[in-house]
Amino acid sequence: MHGRLGGTRLEPSATSLEKVLSGLCPAQAPGLAWSVSTGSGQRLAGGHLGWAVLDPDRLPVRENTLFDLASLTKPLVTALLALQAEDRGEVDLAAPVPGEPFSFIQLLRHEAGFPAWMPVYAFGDDPTGIRRWLSSSCPRGTPGVRTDYSCLGYILLGFLLEEILHAPLEGLFAERIAGPLGLRPEATCFRPPEDLRRSTAATERGPFREDEMARQYGAVVPCWREPAGWGQVNDGNARCLGGVAGNAGLFGRLEAVERLAGAFREGSTLLSEKARLKAWEPSLGFRTAGWKAAGHPGWAAGAELPEGSIGHEGYTGTGLWMEPGEGRTYILLTNRIHPVHPGADFGEFRAAFLSSARGLM
């Protein structure tokens, strides 16, 4: 097994964390990277274990391994850009989306009535067609009635930000977020270039799991390239949009995720205090602007966090959780769906990581 606890020696709680991590890798994920940091961004402990790639090659996880962050794209890109845009007077998040019965903040909080998931590539042949379907034909419930986590709502939000800010999402991320944080493309990016593939953790060998869901709509997952699942976003909806979408597509190293998390902390250089608080203050549905709040029903990891905490997880086995104020930040990045999706829920294992990581002194 590759990796260790980083930083100074931490006892006795480190033993518990080490045991949990050893139980996660390789039994639940081929490889992982993790860290625990202070609210001000100082890493207290961290490390990496296992394998970034098992098939078609065999490569260990290293400090510079890029992980497919999956749905962490929602808070770290889409929500962050939306909050910045309001800071700059470019959008009023409380206002209705033009021509729609819901507001921008309802999209951010998953309260706009969109379903959790559908294969957008079954309803549009290109981004223009998909954008049109989301606005005109996608089945929706009444906005503001309930909270339903929705990838589709965030895909639409990504389109809206591109239209309002007159630039592609990928460029907006590079210019407004990564650049100011000093993050180079090799640390975090959409669509990793070919020369970064061997530094990228692999995901599914084929679109087997999503293909089962897509076939219910008469669709086939598009755009897989060889070697499948290595250096290409796993999410089929993001993939059909060129690898860049409001719901998924971002890749990042552990250190990059730490810096992105800091954008939501006190003293953020990217957000005003007013905007930052919108990411921390939950609605009645335990959703904030981009995040899930502690107390959310059925959220296994959230049950390990103190009141006022926020977090988010991703399909590929990623997770980022932040305690309020001077509390800690916890990050777990894995490639648990490589080479195939295990078909099991990962919630209890994330919760076990959080429980033991919170015990570090």
- CA angle at residue 147 from 145 to 153, to 5 degrees? 105
> Is 3.40.710.10 the CATH number for 1-297+304-361?
yes
The single residue listed with the structure tokens 């669509």 is 191
pLDDT tens digit at each of 361 positions of the chain: 344 444 434 444 578 999 999 999 999 999 999 999 999 999 999 999 999 999 999 999 999 999 999 999 999 999 999 999 999 999 999 999 999 999 999 999 999 999 999 999 999 999 999 999 999 999 999 999 999 999 999 999 999 999 999 999 999 999 999 999 999 999 999 999 999 999 999 999 988 899 999 999 999 888 777 677 899 999 999 999 999 999 999 999 999 999 999 999 999 999 999 999 999 999 989 999 999 999 999 999 999 999 999 999 999 999 999 999 999 999 999 999 999 999 999 999 999 999 999 998 7
Which phi-psi region, left, alpha or beta, contains residue 183 (left: φ > 0; alpha: ψ -120 to 50)?
beta
Give the single-character DSSP code of 249: -
Give yes or no for a contact between 41 and 265, defined as CB atoms under 8 angstroms apart: yes
| pTM across the whole model | 0.96
Which phi-psi region, left, alpha or beta, contains residue 56 (left: φ > 0; alpha: ψ -120 to 50)?
alpha
